[in-house]
Amino acid sequence: MASTRSSGRTTVVSLVIIFATAAAGCSGGGFLPFGDGPHSIAPSVLSSIIAQQSAEHGVNPQLVRAVIHQESGEDPSAISSAGAMGLMQLMPGTADAYGITDPFDPAQNVAGGTALLADLLRQYHGNVRLALAAYNAGSGAVARYHGIPPFAETQAYVRDVTSLYRASSSHP
């Protein structure tokens, strides 16, 4: 029962945040309806979180960093117009699925996002581009189009994250 209560609380909080975001006309960039959330994180703290979660989930830390940079600009309090939250821009359902109770907590958010990324890399047999497309547009869209969906946003996302990853890593 505790997980149902926690999941329900996360969903309610997420809905309140999404509603407040819409009411304020915020399209992202670090809006928190309940005060001034942290709009930055110390680079050493973020690096430590990324290193820990990357090692735990077997994902290249430079890939995790590239996703964080693209998703939120490294803003722990970022909220998208679609309701994605935190550093790795987790949707409420994704946060619930990965046991994240506070998507604005950098450690929890990176744990959930890295776990999702690891699952997608396994699902697509290590194909980084397909995993990134699924991270952005969902696995259903990747399956429906038998590859990277023809959405301009998703194609740009895959291109940009892949470019950031390659620039910071020796892994293609």
Give 120-153 as a DSSP string: HHHHTTT-HHHHHHHHHH-HHHHHHTTSS-S-HH
Per-residue pLDDT reduced to its tens digit, 122-157: 999 999 999 999 999 999 999 999 999 999 999 999
3-state secondary structure of 79: strand
CA 18/CA 82 separation, integer angstroms: 8
Per-residue pLDDT reduced to its tens digit, 77-86: 999 999 999 9
**Selected residue with higher pLDDT from 25 and 76:** 76
CA 10/CA 3 separation, integer angstroms: 10
3-state secondary structure of 170: coil
Domains of the chain: 2-168 (1.10.530.10)
Q: Which of 47, 169, 57 is nearest to 118 (CA)?
A: 57
pLDDT at residue 3, as a whole number: 41
Annotation marks residue 71 as catalytic:
yes
> Mean pLDDT, the chain, as a whole number?
85
| Annotated catalytic residue within 56, 71, 74, 153 | 71
Residues 6+ apart with CB under 8 A from 168: 62, 65, 66
How many of the other CB atoms lie within 10 Å of CB of 99? 14
Residues 6+ apart with CB under 8 A from 144: none
Going by the DSSP 8-state scheme, the letter that residue 86 receives in this structure is T
Residues 6+ apart with CB under 8 A from 11: 92, 96
**Selected residue with higher pLDDT from 169 and 79:** 79
Residues 6+ apart with CB under 8 A from 117: 57, 59, 63, 64, 67, 131, 135
Is 132:118 a contact under the CB 8 Å cutoff? no
Look at the pTM and tell me if it is higher than 0.75: yes
| Amino acid letter, residue 14 | S
